[in-house]
């Protein structure tokens, strides 16, 4: 970063002016010491660099102060044998004031330009740091590259490990992207600009997506030089978000189709097994609400997984909920995939509906206990669920399977590749099923 010249001579206690006065005095003393060699010619030769240095280091005011001190020295020390305000003295003074004044103007313009450049550079550095952008330059003729500290940090490198050559940089690019980068760079020489993305391999082995934009430096005639400059930004999070969005859209399309198929099947099967239109409406609406309850839980979890306990609470809520007395839950925390959650939800809904109509929940003293645990079967984890009803009406095995029983079998066995056992004990229904996680 450029150093402001104003910091070279702090303004506290008038130090720039005292420094200028000392420099003028030193210049006058040096001129007197050189008098035996130079004679009366070039009487103000040592004052010019002093005025220029004072203007550069202290500013235009300090430069003018040194100029006036030098003018006073010229007036009080005229050439030997000449009066104080002789024609020769006036000519020397005029030449001095004009030349030294021009030096002060040039120095003031130089200081203003440097300060503007420094402010612009500070703003650029702040913008790059805020955006996480690093910059680089690439000499295509010598194959040398130069990175700024921000880019070195972006690639996870130590400051002394920044690449120095094209070969060093290419080794940091994912092998599958090197040909693409090389082709884009070659095309940029003709087009003048290039925009491309590539995967960078950090020293710790992690892969980050980089977005690079570069352009060729052109000479005064508009022709491209072999020098390329550019900026690089880490866009890994953006790429992951894009991939996740594409996955979610694909998953959404898949689930919408599956849901429509399930709804269609529920409607047809419920209609076949409903004696009246009112019975169909009641049963179909209850199954849709059960499906919706599971969907709501999965939506809250971004369709990644769902808790076994949450699914059970949602499906049992229309039948009085889980109160720990009539309905109790016991089991370790288990996360279900979306497909498993939908299958379990429909199965639990059918079991709860049957319990409310014909089983334990149809009785004032009946109760339902749902227990589950994770076991290891042949090296694969399985969740084993036991649905036990007690103190309800005497249970008898039905002569034929209704749609509810078939839906449970399809949800557990066909959809989830599980195993199902249903025992119609006189004391209450006992349903056990095991599903691989």
In this predicted model, what pLDDT tens digit does every residue of 157-177 receive, in sequence order?
A: 888 888 888 888 888 889 999
Domain ranges, ordered by start, for the chain: 5-129, 132-234, 239-436
Output DSSP code: residue 418: -
Quote the pLDDT of residue 421: 86
Q: What is the mean pLDDT of residues 51-57?
A: 81
pLDDT above 60: residue 260: yes
Q: Between 8 and 322, whose confidence is greater?
A: 322
Q: What is the mean pLDDT of residues 226-236?
A: 85
Quote the pLDDT of residue 176: 92
Cut 0.85: pTM above it: no
In this predicted model, what pLDDT tens digit does every residue of 2-45 receive, in sequence order?
A: 344 444 555 545 777 888 888 888 877 777 777 677 666 656 77
pLDDT above 80: residue 391: yes
**What span, in angstroms and rounded, lies between the C-alpha atoms of 412 and 341?**
11
In this predicted model, what pLDDT tens digit does every residue of 362-383 receive, in sequence order?
A: 888 888 888 989 888 877 888 8
Quote the pLDDT of residue 47: 80
Quote the pLDDT of residue 2: 38
Q: What is the mean pLDDT of residues 203-215?
A: 88
Quote the pLDDT of residue 298: 76
Query: Does residue 429 contact residue 387 with C-beta atoms inside 8 Å?
Result: yes
pLDDT above 70: residue 224: no
CATH architecture of 239-436: 2-Layer Sandwich (3.30)
Lowest mean pLDDT among 264-273, 387-396, 400-409: 264-273
Quote the pLDDT of residue 41: 61
Residue 393: exposure state from Cβ atoms within 10 A (0-12, 13-18, ≥19): middle
**What span, in angstroms and rounded, lies between the C-alpha atoms of 137 and 82?**
62
Q: Between 433 and 3, whose confidence is greater?
A: 433
**Residue ranges of the alpha helices (H) in 59-86?**
60-76
pLDDT above 80: residue 273: no
Lowest mean pLDDT among 145-149, 233-237, 402-406: 402-406
Quote the pLDDT of residue 42: 58
Mean of the per-residue pLDDT values of the chain:
79
Of the candidates 9, 5, 33, 32, the residue with the CA atom closest to the CA atom of residue 21: 9
3-state secondary structure at position 422: strand
Quote the pLDDT of residue 297: 80
Structural element, H or E, at residue 330: strand 327-331
Q: What is the mean pLDDT of residues 332-355?
A: 85
Please give the structure tokens belonging to residue 14: 């008038």
- CATH number of 132-234: 3.20.20.60, 3.30.450.20, 3.40.50.970, 3.40.228.10? 3.30.450.20
Give the confidence band of 88 by pLDDT, cuts at 50, 70, 90: low
In this predicted model, what pLDDT tens digit does every residue of 93-113 receive, in sequence order?
A: 777 777 788 888 888 888 788
**What span, in angstroms and rounded, lies between the C-alpha atoms of 65 and 51?**
8
Q: What is the mean pLDDT of residues 376-397?
A: 84
Give the confidence band of 82 by pLDDT, cuts at 50, 70, 90: low
Of the candidates 160, 140, 144, the residue with the CA atom closest to the CA atom of residue 152: 160
- Decide if 132-234 and 239-436 have a common fold: no
Give the confidence band of 1 by pLDDT, cuts at 50, 70, 90: very low
Angle at 140 between CA 138 and CA 141, to 5 degrees: 130
Output DSSP code: residue 412: I
Got the DSSP string for 161-187? G---BHHHHHHTB-HHHHHHHHHHHHH
3-state secondary structure at position 221: coil
């Amino acid at each position: 970063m450029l150093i402001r010249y104003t910091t070279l001579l702090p303004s506290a206690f008038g130090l720039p002016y005292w420094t200028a006065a000392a420099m003028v005095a030193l210049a006058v003393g040096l001129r007197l010491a050189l008098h035996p060699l130079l004679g009366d010619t070039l009487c103000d030769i040592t004052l010019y660099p002093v005025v220029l240095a004072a203007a550069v280091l202290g500013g235009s005011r300090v430069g003018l102060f040194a100029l006036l001190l030098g003018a006073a020295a010229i007036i009080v020390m005229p050439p030997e044998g000449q009066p104080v305000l002789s024609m020769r003295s006036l000519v020397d003074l005029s030449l001095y004031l004009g030349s030294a004044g021009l030096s002060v103007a040039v120095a003031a313009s130089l200081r203003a330009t440097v300060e503007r450049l420094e402010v612009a550079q500070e703003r650029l550095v702040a913008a790059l740091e805020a955006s996480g952008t690093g910059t680089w330059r690439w000499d295509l003729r010598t194959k040398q590259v130069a990175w700024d500290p921000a880019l070195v940090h972006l690639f996870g490198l130590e400051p002394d490990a920044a690449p120095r050559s094209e070969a060093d940089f290419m080794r940091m690019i994912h092998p599958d992207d090197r040909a693409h980068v090389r082709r884009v760079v070659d095309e940029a020489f003709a087009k003048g600009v290039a925009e491309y993305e590539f995967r960078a391999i950090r020293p710790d082995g992690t892969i980050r997506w980089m977005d690079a934009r570069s352009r060729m430096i052109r000479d005064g005639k508009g022709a491209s030089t072999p020098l390329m400059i550019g900026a690089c930004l880490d866009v890994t999070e953006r790429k992951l978000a894009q991939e996740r969005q594409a996955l979610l859209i694909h998953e959404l399309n898949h689930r919408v189709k599956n849901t429509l198929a399930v709804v269609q099947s529920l409607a047809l099967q419920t209609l076949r097994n409903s004696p009246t239109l009112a019975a169909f409406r009641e049963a179909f609406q209850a199954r849709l609400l059960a499906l919706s309850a599971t969907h709501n839980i999965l939506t809250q979890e971004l369709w990644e997984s769902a808790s076994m306990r949450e699914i059970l609470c949602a499906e049992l809520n229309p039948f009085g909920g889980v109160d720990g007395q009539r309905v109790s839950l016991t089991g370790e925390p288990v996360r279900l995939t979306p497909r498993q959650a939908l299958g379990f939800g429909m199965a639990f809904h059918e079991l709860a509906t049957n319990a409310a109509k014909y089983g334990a929940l149809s009785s004032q003293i009946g109760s339902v206990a749902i227990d589950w645990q994770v076991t290891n079967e042949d090296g694969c984890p399985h969740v084993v669920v036991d649905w036990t009803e007690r103190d309800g009406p005497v249970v008898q095995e039905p002569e034929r399977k209704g749609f509810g029983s078939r839906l449970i079998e399809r949800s557990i066995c066909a959809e989830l590749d599980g195993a199902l056992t249903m025992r119609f004990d006189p004391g209450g229904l006992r349903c056990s099923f095991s599903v691989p996680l």
